[in-house]
Amino acid sequence: MSPHPYLVAFRRYWYIVVVATLVGGLGGWGLSQIATPSYTATASLYFSLNFGGSANDLNQGATYTQSQMLSFAQLAESPLVLAPVIENLNLDLTPQQLADSVTVSTPQNTVVLDVAASHTDAREAALISNAIAASLSRNVELIAPKGATGASTVSVRVIQPAVVPTDQSSPNVRLNIIAGLLLGLIVGALIVVLREVLDTRVHSAGIATLLTGAPLLGSIERERKKTKGLVMVSDPLSNVAESYRQLRSNLAYVAIESETLGVVITSSIPGEGKSMIATNLALALSEGDQRVLLIDADLRRPTIASYTGLEGEVGLTTVLVGRARYEDVVQPWGSTGLHVLPSGAIPPNPSELLSSRVMSDLVTRLKARYDVVVIDTPPMTAVADAAILARLVDGALIVADRTRVHRPQLVQTTDSLAKSGVRVLGVVFNRVAPNKDHPLYYYQAEAKKEAPLPPRKSIFRRHVASQYSRTSSGAPDDHRPSEPTEA
C-alpha cells in the first residue's frame, strides 16, 4: 500500500517544518528581548455593609454587596477615581490612558476587588495600584447610600496593599518562545501542504507507479558532475552503472515469455534523459552474450550518434527511403558488442516514415537477427511516434524524471499508450537523489587493486611458455597443454 502523498511530502520536506519552527521560536525570543519590560502590582479591597445585626440581615447585605461588585469595578476605572491619582502622583497621563494600564477583577461570588496596575517602573506600579485603591475607597463611601445616622452603608478596606514587584509581568519570554514555536510549526506545515498541492511534479517512485499502474523497473541516481559521457563506459563500477544492470535484470523478468526482446524507450516531455537511459541500458544488455541493437528512432532530435561518437548522417532514414540496406548502416561500437543504428538525416515527414510498412518489416527482420532491440523514440506529449513503434515490439518503458515531469503529463503519456494498445513494461525513475548510505563495494574493490592486470592474451602466452620450459627441463610429457586457441 502506497503511503499518503502528504505523508511522503512531510518526509521529503521535513527540514522546512524544522526550520520554520526554529525561526518561530527565535522570533518569539527576539521580540521578548526588544520589548519594554513591564511590572504589575496588585492591591486587594474588601467591601461590606455597615448595618444589619441578624443573620438574615448579614446574608442580605452580602448578597447586595456581591451584586454591586461589577459597579464598583467600573467605578475603579472611571475618571472620578483616576483623576485624583494622576494629580497626587504627578502622572503625565490622561484618565483614559491610565485606565488602559489598569486591570480590575472580582473573583466570582466574593466581595473582594483586585486592582492591578502595570508600569515600566516596578515602584511606580505599586504606587499607582495603592493610590487607585485609596481613591476607590473614598469615592465608594461618598457615593454609597447613607444610613439613618448619615454614615455610608458600604465600607471598603484594603486587605492587601500592593508591593513593589521583583519580576516583570511582560514580556513573558517562555510563553513567547512557545507561541513562536507553535506558530512556526503551523506555518511550516502549511508550506509543505501548499507545496504538495501546487507542485505537481512526480517526486517519488511510489507516485510514478501509482499514476501509471506499471511496475518500477529501475531508479537511476543523479550522476555526479565529474562524470562525463555514458556512465557504463566512463564509470562502469559506480552505483549508477549498477542501477542500469538492475534495470536490465528487471526488464528480463517482465518480458520472460519472449525469446527476443524489443523495447521502446520514451518519456512524457523532452529533457527527461530517455536517450541517455536507452544508450546505457543497451550497453548493460550487451555485457552478456546477447546480440543487442540500439536504434535511434527520434527522427526530430536524434542524440544517439553524438553519445556514441558514431557517424549519424546515414542510418534509419536512409534505410526507410530505400537508399541503403540496414546491414550497411548498422555500426558496431568499439569492443562492447553493441550495434547501433543511428537516425540518419532528419526527414520532413518522420511520422509517415515510422508508421510505414517498410518500418514494420525492418523491425521484424531486426528482431529476428538480434536478441534485444532497444529503440529510442521522441516524448509522448510531443508526437505519437513512440506509440506507433511500441506496437511493433514487446512494449514501452516510460522514463520519468522526478525533477521535470508533472503528474498530468505522466498520466497523459500512460493513457495515450494504453489507447494505442501498447503494453507498458514499466517505469524508469530518473535523477533520483544519491543514497549516501549505499555501499560503494565496487569502488572499494577497485581501490584495493595494486596494479592493473596484463591483457588476457599475454597471461595465456606466459602460462604456455612456462609449461613448455618445465617440460624441456624434465617435466612429464602428459602435463603438456593442448594447442592454444584464441577465445
- CATH number of the domain that 73 lies in? 3.30.70.1130
Band (214; pLDDT cuts 50, 70, 90): very high
Q: How many residues does this entry show for the chain?
A: 487
Domain boundary among 388, 403, 432: 432
**471 in a domain, yes or no?**
no
CA distance 169 to 56: 43
Residues 114 and 62 in one domain: yes
Verify that 117 and 156 share a domain, yes or no.
yes
Instruction: List, in sequence order, every beta strand (DSSP E) within 413-483.
Output: 424-432
More confident residue, 336 or 467: 336
Maximum mean pLDDT: which of 45-54, 99-108, 255-264, 436-445: 99-108
Together in a domain, 28 and 82: no
Q: How many domains does the chain have?
A: 3
Residue 206 is which amino acid?
A: G
Task: Mark whether 334 and 379 lie in a shared domain.
Answer: yes
* Burial category of 127 from C-beta neighbours within 10 Å (exposed 0-12, middle 13-18, buried 19 and up): buried
Residues 406 and 288 both lie in one domain: yes
Domain annotation covers residue 22: yes
Q: Examine the fold and report which residue of 432, 463, 479 is the final residue of a domain before the chain moves on.
A: 432
Q: Is 482 among the domain residues? A: no
Q: What are phi and psi of 258, to 5 degrees?
A: -95, 135
Range of the domain at 137: 39-160
The set of cell numbers assigned to 33 is 528581548
CATH number at residue 424: 3.40.50.300
Shortest CA distance to 378 belongs to which of 278, 300, 273, 430? 300
Same domain, 81 and 29: no
In this structure, are 81 and 47 located in the same domain?
Answer: yes
On whether both 211 and 182 belong to a single domain, the answer is no
pLDDT at 466 over 60: no
- Within a 10 A sphere around the Cβ of 438, how many other Cβ atoms? 11
pLDDT tens for each residue of 424-447: 999 999 999 887 655 555 444 444
Cell, residue 56: 438574615
* Domain match, 185 and 209 both: no
Assign 253 a pLDDT band (cuts: 50, 70, 90). Answer: confident
Split at pLDDT 50, 70, 90, the class of 225 is: low
Average model confidence (pLDDT) for the chain? 84
